[in-house]
């Protein structure tokens, strides 16, 4: 980890040695990785990045990158697609979709897991663990399997079937906990202090969260080293949004971009929208809620980085919006119908939020906008209700003609 100088507290600035620990000893603020940016700036360039691998590791100078033994299934370098048909439907001039479904386990969580577990293994950890709303479980179990680590994954029992199957298939231990994600997280925080397990999003959280910066790096690089005017980002714990902002700042610090103004907009579903509520009320602290939403991957009632996500959106002229529950499935279908992308519920929340932001005038028609579509729809087909063919016929031309009419 050539350019990492240690851990610093986001609140009080206290520095800590580089150990798996998420909170500051002095003030309990979140710990963050610190880098020697002048040294990075002297060595990094657009060309050196372009010559790197087509994965998040092309940005290894801005990540906690162990010198050897990375656990790498190829996370990142996902497509940034122009979305003219969805843009036209919403009334936008320029819209791009960052589609994370092409990651190894089909969500953006592969970015954070490859970072956290690479560091964990380099520190000699043998057990990979996490508290998950589903996608993280898939990714931790897969990366552990591919590296020979054991996995112990904790999930709320009522997750979507595909998210459970997409975890158990990798052969680790999958523990369903009766209760919400917030109960699972509390349990894992206790376990992390008792066992030498690498909980990617608990004790390894400072390393884990760095992986999210790569979404900002890729968006900027894929736009030709420009920062867009606005980005719509789904919010669960608020880590992705907070680190997307950190990623943009770092690109300026190492002089890869000039540092244009980019508004960040958070997206939540009404059934679990504590950050949106705090935003609307002008509050700085987030009041926890009990989640009741179809968007299970975003169902965190007590978001660990909610406070910081709020600060980021406010300082960047952004917002956090909650969309009504029925609009989640509508968002999924709108995206599929216009752009041929099948996203999960979190993507439905993002698309519905984007629609709302344009309608409310928070995103102007000529603002170049990027929406982060963070996961794939095959994992959450329950959200679409009962699914059946649009018609059923016998294998007969007449019956097809009956249904579809003459040409």
Ligand X SMILES: *Cc1c(COP(=O)(O)O)cnc(C)c1O
What x-and-dash track marks residues 184-223 binding ligand X by CB under 6 A? Answer: ----------------------------------------
366 touching Zn ion, by CB under 5 A? no
11 touching Zn ion, by CB under 5 A? yes
29 touching Zn ion, by CB under 5 A? yes
Q: How far is the CB of 22 from Zn ion (least distance, A)?
A: 12
Q: Return the number of the residue (6 or 176) whose C-beta is nearest ligand X.
A: 176
Give the residue, chosen from 4, 7, 18, 24, that forms a contact with Zn ion under the rule CB under 5 A: 24
Q: How far is the CB of 236 from ligand X (least distance, A)?
A: 3
Number of residues forming the site for Zn ion (CB under 5 A): 8
Q: Which does 238 bind (CB under 5 to 8 A by kind): Zn ion, ligand X, none?
A: ligand X
Give the residue, chosen from 105, 107, 118, 293, that forms a contact with ligand X under the rule CB under 6 A: 107
Give the residue, chosen from 1, 5, 6, 14, that forms a contact with Zn ion under the rule CB under 5 A: 14
Among residue numbers 313 through 352, which ones bind ligand X (CB under 6 A)? 344, 346
Q: Which does 27 bind (CB under 5 to 8 A by kind): Zn ion, ligand X, none?
A: Zn ion
Q: How far is the CB of 94 from ligand X (least distance, A)?
A: 23
The Cα angle at residue 242 between residues 97 and 209, in degrees rounded to 5: 95
How many whole angstroms separate alpha carbon 135 and alpha carbon 100?
12
370 touching ligand X, by CB under 6 A? no
Q: Return the number of the residue (151 or 268) whose C-beta is nearest ligand X.
A: 268
How many whole angstroms separate alpha carbon 185 and alpha carbon 156?
10
Q: Return the number of the residue (11 or 382) whose C-beta is nearest Zn ion.
A: 11
Using CB under 6 A, list all residues that contact ligand X.
107, 109, 135, 234-240, 297, 344, 346, 374-375
Using CB under 5 A, list all residues that contact Zn ion.
9, 11-12, 14, 24, 26-27, 29
């Amino acid at each position: 980890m050539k350019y990492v100088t240690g851990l610093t507290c986001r609140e009080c600035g206290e520095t800590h040695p580089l150990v798996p620990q998420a909170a500051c000893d002095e003030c309990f603020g979140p710990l963050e990785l610190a880098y020697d940016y002048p040294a990075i700036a002297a060595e990094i360039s657009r060309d050196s990045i372009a010559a790197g691998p087509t994965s998040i590791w092309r940005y290894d100078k801005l990540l906690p990158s162990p010198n050897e033994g990375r656990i790498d299934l190829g996370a990142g370098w996902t497509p940034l697609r122009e979305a003219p048909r969805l843009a036209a439907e919403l009334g936008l001039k320029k819209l791009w979709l960052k589609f994370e479904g092409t990651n190894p386990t089909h969500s953006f969580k592969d970015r954070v897991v490859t970072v956290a577990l690479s560091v964990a293994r380099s520190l000699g950890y043998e057990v990979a663990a996490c508290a998950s709303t589903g996608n993280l479980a898939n990714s931790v179990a897969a990366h552990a399997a591919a590296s020979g680590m054991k996995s112990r994954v904790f999930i709320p029992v009522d997750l979507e079937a595909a998210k459970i199957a997409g975890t158990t298939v990798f052969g680790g231990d999958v523990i369903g906990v009766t209760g919400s994600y917030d109960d699972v997280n509390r349990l894992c925080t206790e376990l992390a202090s008792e066992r030498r397990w690498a909980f990617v999003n608990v004790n390894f959280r400072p390393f884990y969260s760095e992986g999210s910066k790569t979404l900002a790096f890729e968006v900027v690089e894929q736009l030709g080293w420009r920062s867009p005017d606005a980005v719509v980002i789904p919010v669960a714990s608020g880590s992705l949004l907070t680190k997307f902002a950190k990623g943009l700042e770092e690109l300026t610090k190492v002089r890869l971009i000039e540092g244009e103004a980019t508004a960040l907009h958070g997206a939540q579903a009404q059934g679990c929208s504590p950050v949106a509520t705090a935003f609307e009320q002008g509050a700085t602290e987030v009041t926890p809620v009990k989640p009741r939403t179809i968007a299970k991957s975003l169902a965190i009632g007590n978001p660990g980085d909610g406070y910081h996500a709020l600060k980021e959106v406010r300082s960047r002229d952004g917002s956090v919006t909650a969309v009504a529950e029925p609009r989640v499935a509508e968002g999924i279908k709108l995206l599929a119908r216009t752009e041929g992308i099948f996203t999960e519920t979190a993507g439905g929340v993002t698309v519905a939020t984007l629609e709302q932001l344009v309608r409310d005038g928070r995103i102007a028609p000529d603002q170049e906008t990027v929406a982060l579509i963070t996961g794939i729809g095959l994992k959450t087909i329950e959200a679409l209700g009962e699914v059946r063919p649009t018609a059923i016929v016998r294998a007969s031309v007449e019956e097809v003609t009956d249904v579809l009419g003459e040409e």
